[in-house]
Chains A and B, each alone.
Chain A
Amino acid sequence: MTGGPRDPAGRVWVRAVLVAMPLILFAIVGVLAPVLAPADPTANDLAAGLLPPSPEHVLGTDQLGRDQLSRLLYGAQISLAVTSAVLAVSLTAGAAIGAVAGYLGGWADRVVSRVIDVVVSLPGMLVALAVIGVRGPGVENLVLALSLWSWAPYARIARARVAGMRGSPHLDALRLLGAGRGRVIGRHLLPPALAPCLVYASTDVGTIVLGVATLSFLGLGVAPPHAEWGQMLIEGRPFLASAWWLAYPPGIAITAVVFASNLLGERLAAGEERPSVLRMVRPGRARSGQTPEPARAAVTAEPPAPIPPGSAHGSPEHQTVLLVRDLSVSYPDRGERRRVVAGMSYEVRPGQILALVGETGSGKTTAALAPFGLLDPDARVTGSAVLGTGPGARQLVGPAPGERRQINGRRVGVVFQDSAAVLNPLRTIGAHVDEAVRNAGRGGRRAATRRVSEELLRLAGLPDPAAVARASPHQLSGGMRQRAQIAMALAGEPELLVADEPTSALDVTVQAQLLAVLARLRDELAMSMVIVSHDLAVVARLADSVAVMYAGRIVESGPLAAVINNCDHPYTRGLLDAVPRPGTAPGTRFRTMPGQAGTGPDDAEGCGFAPRCPLATAACVHEPPALETLVRAAHRSACLHHPGRPAAAGGRGADSC
């Protein structure tokens, strides 16, 4: 099937309904058979036996002169009735048994699981034959026989779903609210477990219709003279050559229902699962896949000079490790491109740490990773990002993948927030660092490589590198794993280290140690870094300069002390006010910003912060403010009002933070 995964949920369901049309038709025909049928399906008329299709009998008559169309329609009714009954019984019983077993756990769960395993592994038709053999044919026995083997998959699905939710805090929360077991299972566990059961049921319809027809075909289901599709097939079999209209219509009807139900099941399952699977796969492609066409087009548009002219900081005394100018990142969104980062300019100087600070959705991680091709392949990066100065300078926006490999891991090292996800659980830490060393071209013989690796681990602040190198990731604490990641990033002796929330998942004491490691790397190796963080307090401990981001743009940037002590932008002010400070009287209220964080740089025509800003005027809403230099050259702020700028006559800082 095509399409699907990227569609909004609504369209998936419209398509599902379209795919379900044959089944809906089947249900309507089944229900309305007595109205639609032109004749009594059991009325014999031996004089009119075996008539070919004619206007009077659209599908002809059988050997007893019964109208085939009427029999086909009534057959649908019986199929529908039996199938509904079987589904109702097996779904209800299966889901209930599974949900209870999953909720209770322990021996009850083990017993039920084994029973389910046994029933699922039995050939269904054999079970049905055995039941009917004991109890004899007939509609009720047919329902019983088919239900006996079709309940198990529902029980298995429901059990898995419920068992997965059993430890979830929301059940604890419900128990604390005083909900009893019955309510927890019935109202909170069963409904979500039913959804996948219903998806499975849509496929099961076909299986059951086929089962009913098969058993009737064998003479074990619906007894003659009732019209049933399997029954009609067996009755038409002797006349396959002479009277084709007897066997073909019921055969086609059965095939159609089975196909339709499989198609519907497939579509529903796709609607439920495919997008999430794709989401997991796509970031992987980002690293191995090719650069998307638009990004390459952007490169050709770049001026050949490594440092764009007109930059205020191009003068020789301002050497930069990373010079980013007018960086924008956009993603496709419903046929258009939506920018998430717009017009970012920042620079990292040798031996300095730049912190990109912002809240969730401000685009800080995207802005930090974009120059290094670490975003989803859908991302389009424009602007300029130059690594280094002089003859070694490299334009980072949009080089070929091969060139990228010469930069990432060698000239630039990257550290991610979640070290558990970055490290392969099946390989030792030493193997990870060795690989990084070899990728950086510093590998030699195995022992030599390992010596380099251990030196790197020591550099990253791990006291016993040999032992750490032999350990698997899960044997290390979060702080040690994060240091191992830093060691990997250092393998290429990079000029620049990019760290995305490197300490956010750690305890404060561990966090403090890791911050000390990063500070030492800067102080002793003159390492330059870009640190992405949401935590102003962390940034205040580590960074030399800060760029505060809001809704995909830098709103204020400058040296740490200037931004923290003399902030200008109202958003920076609000962010600083929200940081808790020991020493204030308990219960002191925070000063807060109204409204919710903006989501993108293009959501508002003017200043993105204007809707929440206490200083906003009409001008703010229409005019996007530029980053303007304040008192000192390096301190810039994108606010029309500049509340932090000292008045011409007033003392410095009187009206500042």
Chain B
Amino acid sequence: MLEIVGVTAGHGGGGRDVTPVIEDVTIRVAAGEIVGLVGESGCGKTTLARVVTGLHRPSAGVVRVAGVDVHALRGRDLRAHRRQIQMVFQDPYLTLSPRQTVRQALAEPLRIHRVGDARSRSARVRELLDLVGLDPQVGERRPARLSGGQRQRVAIARALALEPRLLICDEPVTALDVSVQAKVLNLLCDLRDRLEFGCLFITHDLAVVSQLADRIAVMRCGRIVEQGPTRDITAHPVHPYTRALLAATPIMDTGISAADPRD
């Protein structure tokens, strides 16, 4: 679904990068797969997300989504192709227009791409609200009157409005309380199972992706230092940085959940 092959990108833009922020990154995400990209702040995770979504042009390498080179497209083709890739950001409060009601925000992508008429769009909005487990009444509210979890649900619903085949999540649960985070992660898993989209899940939190992702890629200083199936990475890390990261990640290691008698 997503192929990132040998991508190098940095500041300076237009292929004349002065300092590369990410170097020679190769990641593949299959349909229905969640790949976790883990790294600490400043390691280039967000730059990679911007390259994948086409907001930032790489100086080397190719990003293909469903076989199409994202950066070879221009104008109308690019906009049409963007339906395939959607993104969920860390702070939904910043990514939702404060003046739009939830209903308007969800209808926005449909209006941009001229999908359906007013009636079918409003039906789709109801469907989306239902999909992410929001009450229809929430549709009339503006972002300021939503809780953090609700906002992130709206952001996910909006990203899914055009039925993308690839979802990029950039620290989507970092700003949320742990109990809300659990619900949003469950939702993401359920939606992935139902809609079969591929997902690149970017986070600093190894604990989160180790329960969520099928595969994990560990990034450090703009390079992928290790990637592989989640179990391998968490149980038998090879690269010293991955080991350091695992050791540093606070983990509830009192043996509670594994031996839960009620499970």
A-to-B contact residues, CB < 8 Å: 168-170, 172-180, 183, 188, 191-192, 359-360, 507-512, 515, 534-538, 540-541, 561, 564-565, 574-584, 586-593, 596-597, 654, 657
Once the chains are docked, how many angstroms separate the CA of A536 from the CA of B180? Answer: 14
Q: Are B251 and A581 in contact (CB under 8 A)?
A: yes
Given contacts A178-B82, A192-B99, 20 further A-B contacts (CB under 8 A): A169-B94, A170-B94, A172-B50, A359-B177, A512-B250, A534-B177, A537-B251, A561-B254, A578-B181, A579-B207, A581-B251, A581-B252, A582-B211, A582-B251, A583-B234, A583-B258, A586-B210, A586-B230, A592-B179, A597-B177
Residues of B within 8 A of A (CB): 34, 40-41, 50, 53-55, 79-80, 82-83, 85-87, 89, 91, 94-99, 108-109, 112-113, 147-149, 155, 158, 162, 177-183, 185-186, 189-190, 204-208, 210-214, 230-231, 234-235, 244-254, 256-258, 260-261
- CB neighbours (8 Å) of A180 from chain B are 79, 112
Partner of A359, one of B109, B158, B178, B213: B178
Residue contact A538 to B98, C-beta cutoff 8 Å: no
**Chain B hits for A173, CB < 8 A:** 87, 89, 95-96, 155, 158
A-B pairs, top 8 by smallest CB distance, nearest first, are: A537-B250, A590-B182, A578-B182, A582-B210, A512-B248, A359-B177, A507-B40, A178-B79
* Contact among A170, A174, A590 with B186 in the assembled complex (CB-CB below 8 Å): A590
Q: How far is the CA of A583 from the CA of B95 in the complex (A)?
A: 33
Known: A177-B162, A581-B211. A508 touches B206 (CB 8 A): yes
- Complex CA gap A574/B179 in Å reads 7
Residue in A168, A509, A541, A592 whose CB lies within 8 Å of B40: A509
B177–A360 touching, CB < 8 Å: yes
Task: Give the chain A neighbours of B86 by CB distance below 8 A.
Answer: 176-177
A582 touches B55 (CB 8 A): no
The docked-state distance in angstroms from the alpha carbon of A592 to that of B178 is 10
Of B95, B181, B252, which is within 8 A of A540 by CB?
B252
Residue ID in chain A nearest B147 by CB atoms: A596
> What are 5 A-B pairs at a CB distance below 8 A?
A177-B158, A507-B204, A578-B182, A579-B252, A590-B185
The residues of A that contact B80 with a CB separation of less than 8 Å are 178
Which chain B residues lie closer than 8 Å to A587 at the CB level?
34, 189, 212, 214
Evaluate contact between A534 and B178: CB separation under 8 angstroms.
yes
Instruction: Please judge, given known A-B contacts A169-B89, A169-B91, whether A586 and B211 are in contact too, CB under 8 Å.
Output: yes
Within 8 Å by CB of B254, from A509, A565, A578, lies A565
Contact A177 B112 (CB under 8 A): yes
Closest to A535 in B: B250
Q: Shortest Cβ distance from B244 into chain A, in angstroms?
A: 6
Task: Take A178-B113, A584-B211 as given contacts and tell me if A508 and B189 are in contact as well, using a CB distance cutoff of 8 Å.
Answer: no
- Can you name the residue of chain A whose Cβ is closest to the Cβ of B244? A509
A192 CB contacts on chain B under 8 angstroms: 98-99
Q: Which of A176, A541, A586, A593 has a CB less than 8 Å from the CB of B212?
A: A586
Complex interface: chain B residues within 8 A of A583 (CB)? 210, 234-235, 258
Contact flag A508-B249 (CB < 8 Å), given A564-B256, A580-B212, A593-B179 = yes
CB distance from A383 to the nearest CB of B (A): 27
- Contacting pair B252 A564 (CB below 8 A): yes
Question: Which of A178, A588, A591 interacts with B211 by CB under 8 Å?
Answer: A588
Is A541 in contact with B109, judged by CB distance below 8 angstroms? no
Asked whether, in the complex, the Cβ of A508 is within 8 Å of the Cβ of B204, the reply is yes
Q: A509 to B252, Cβ gap below 8 A? A: no
Q: Is the CB of A537 within 8 A of B252?
A: yes
A461 → chain B closest CB, angstroms: 15
- Given A170-B94, A581-B252, A178 and B179 contact (CB-CB distance below 8 Å): no
- Residue of B235, B253, B260 contacting most chain A CB atoms (<10 Å): B253
Are B179 and A176 in contact, CB atoms less than 8 angstroms apart? no
Which residue on A lies nearest to B75, using beta carbons? Answer: A180
User: Do the beta carbons of A178 and B210 come within 8 Å of each other?
Assistant: no
Q: A576 — which chain B residues lie within 8 A by C-beta?
A: 252, 256-257
> Shortest Cβ distance from B93 into chain A, in angstroms?
9
Question: Cβ of A508 and Cβ of B245 under 8 Å apart?
Answer: yes
In the bound complex, do residue B256 and residue A657 qualify as a contact, i.e. CB atoms below 8 Å apart?
Answer: yes
Among residues of A, the one whose C-beta sits closest to the C-beta of B231 is A586
| Most chain A CB inside 10 Å of its own CB: which residue of B108, B247, B250 | B250
Q: A183-B112, A540-B250, A584-B257 are known contacts. Are A177 and B82 too (CB-CB below 8 A)? A: yes
Nearest to A574 among chain B residues (CB) is B179
List B contacts of A561 (CB < 8 A). 254
**Contacts A565-B256, A654-B261: A537 and B207 contacting too (C-beta < 8 A)?**
yes
A652 CB → nearest B CB, Å: 13
A176: B residues at CB distance < 8 A: 53-55, 82, 85-87
Complex: how many Å from CA A192 to CA B250? Answer: 42
Do the beta carbons of A509 and B177 come within 8 Å of each other?
no
Chain B residues positioned under 8 Å from A188 (CB to CB): 97
Given contacts A587-B214, A588-B211, contact A177 B254 (CB under 8 A): no
Partner of A589, one of B189, B231, B249, B260: B189
- What is the CA–CA distance of A534 and B180 in the complex, to the nearest angstrom? 12
Known A509-B248, A586-B214; contact A172-B55, beta-carbon cutoff 8 A = yes
Interchain CA distance A575-B34 in the complex, whole Å:
25
- Within the assembled complex, what's the spacing in Å between the Cα atoms of A48 and B82? 77
| Inter-chain contacts of B244 with A (CB < 8 A) | 509
Complex Cα spacing A576 to B254, Å: 11
Q: Is the CB of A597 within 8 A of B98?
A: no
Residues of B within 8 A of A360 (CB): 148, 177
Asked if A579 and B178 sit within 8 Å, CB to CB, the answer is yes
Given A173-B95, A507-B40, A508-B245, A582–B85 Cβ distance below 8 Å? Answer: no
Chain A residues with Cβ below 8 Å from B87 are: 172-173, 176
**A residues less than 8 Å from B109 (CB atoms):** 177-178
Q: What's the Cα separation between A178 and B75 when bound, in Å?
A: 10
A649 CB → nearest B CB, Å? 17
- B192 CB, nearest partner CB in chain A, Å: 8
- Specify which of B96, B113, B245, B249 is in contact with A170 (CB 8 Å cutoff): B96
Q: B156 to nearest A CB, angstroms?
A: 12
B177 touches A589 (CB 8 A): no
A509 touches B256 (CB 8 A): no
For residue B169, give the distance in angstroms from its CB to the closest CB of chain A.
13
Collect the chain A residues with CB atoms within 8 Å of residue B261's CB. 654
Shortest CB-to-CB span from B160 to chain A, Å, is 11
Residues of A within 8 A of B207 (CB): 537, 579-582
Cα distance A512–B206 when bound, in Å? 14
Q: CB-CB < 8 A to B53: which residues of A?
A: 176
Cα separation A512 to B211 with both chains bound (whole Å): 21
Are B147 and A170 touching (Cβ within 8 A)? no
Contact partners of B155 in chain A: CB under 8 A: 173
Residues of B within 8 A of A597 (CB): 177, 179
**Which interface residue of A359, A510, A576, A582 has the most chain B CB atoms within 10 A?**
A582
